[in-house]
Chains A and B, each alone.
Chain A
Amino acid sequence: MNFLVKKFRVVKAVALVTYKEWSAYRTHSMVSIFVGPVYFIVQYFIWSVVYSGKTSLNGMELSQMLTYFGVTTLIGYLTMDFADWNLQMLVRTGKFLTFALRPIHHRFFALSQKIGHRVLGFLFEFLPCLFIFVFIFKINMRPANFGWAIISVALAFLMNLYLNYTIGMTAFWLVQAAGVRRVYLLLQSIFSGGLIPLVFFPGALQKFLLFLPFQYVSYVPAMVYIGRYTLAGVSMPIPQIVGLQAIAVAVTAIISEYIYRLSMKRFTGVGA
Chain B
Amino acid sequence: MLKKYIRIYIECIKISISTALTYRLNFLLDNFIMLVSNILFPLFTLLIYGSGAEFPNWSLYEVLLIQAVFTMSTGIANILFNGVLWATMRHIIEGSLEIVLIKPVDCLFFLTASTIEFSSIGLFLGGLVIFVVALPYIGPVSILMVLQFIVLFLSGVCVMMGISFIMAATSFKWVGNSRIPEIFESIKYFGRYPQNIFHKVISGFTSFIIPVAMVGYFPAASLLGKADATAFIAILPCFLFAMAGVFLFRHMIRLYEGVGG
Residue interface bits B28-52, CB-to-A below 8 A is 1, else 0: 0110010001001001100110111
**B9 CB within 8 Å of chain A:** no
* Contact call B40/A34, Cβ cutoff below 8 A: no
B201 nearest CB across to chain A (Å): 11
* Contact call B199/A45, Cβ cutoff below 8 A: yes
* Contact call A49/B189, Cβ cutoff below 8 A: no
B33 nearest CB across to chain A (Å): 6
Considering the chains assembled together, what is the distance between the CA atoms of A41 and B199 in angstroms?
Answer: 10
* Chain A residues whose C-beta falls within 8 Å of the C-beta of B186 in the assembled complex: 34-35, 38-39
Considering the chains assembled together, what is the distance between the CA atoms of A201 and B40 in angstroms?
Answer: 13
* Chain A residues whose C-beta falls within 8 Å of the C-beta of B176 in the assembled complex: 25
* Contact call B193/A42, Cβ cutoff below 8 A: yes
On whether A200 and B29 interact (CB within 8 A), knowing A34-B186, A195-B44, the answer reads no
> Which residue on chain A has the smallest CB distance to residue B54?
A50
**B56 CB within 8 Å of chain A:** yes
* Chain B residues whose C-beta falls within 8 Å of the C-beta of A2 in the assembled complex: none
> Chain A interface residue count: which class?
20 to 34
Considering the chains assembled together, what is the distance between the CA atoms of A200 and B43 in angstroms?
Answer: 11
Among B43, B177, B186, B197, residue most surrounded by chain A Cβ atoms (within 10 Å): B186
Interface residue ranges of A50-99 to B (CB < 8 Å)? 50-52, 54, 57-58
A125 nearest CB across to chain B (Å): 11
B163 nearest CB across to chain A (Å): 14
Interface residue ranges of B35-80 to A (CB < 8 Å)? 37, 40, 43-44, 47-48, 50-56
**A202 CB within 8 Å of chain B:** yes
* Chain A residues whose C-beta falls within 8 Å of the C-beta of B51 in the assembled complex: 57-58, 200
**B202 CB within 8 Å of chain A:** yes
Considering the chains assembled together, what is the distance between the CA atoms of A54 and B37 in angstroms?
Answer: 31
Considering the chains assembled together, what is the distance between the CA atoms of A202 and B52 in angstroms?
Answer: 12
A182 nearest CB across to chain B (Å): 6
B19 nearest CB across to chain A (Å): 17
A200 nearest CB across to chain B (Å): 4
Given A28-B179, A49-B56, A50-B53, 14 additional A-B pairs, CB 8 A? A25-B176, A25-B177, A34-B183, A38-B186, A39-B189, A42-B190, A45-B193, A45-B197, A48-B197, A50-B48, A58-B51, A182-B33, A182-B37, A200-B48
Can you list 12 pairs linking A and B with CB atoms under 8 Å apart? A25-B176, A28-B178, A34-B183, A34-B186, A39-B186, A46-B48, A46-B197, A49-B56, A49-B197, A57-B51, A57-B52, A195-B44
Interface on B for A, CB 8 Å cutoff? 29-30, 33, 37, 40, 43-44, 47-48, 50-56, 174, 176-180, 182-183, 185-187, 189-190, 193, 197-199, 202
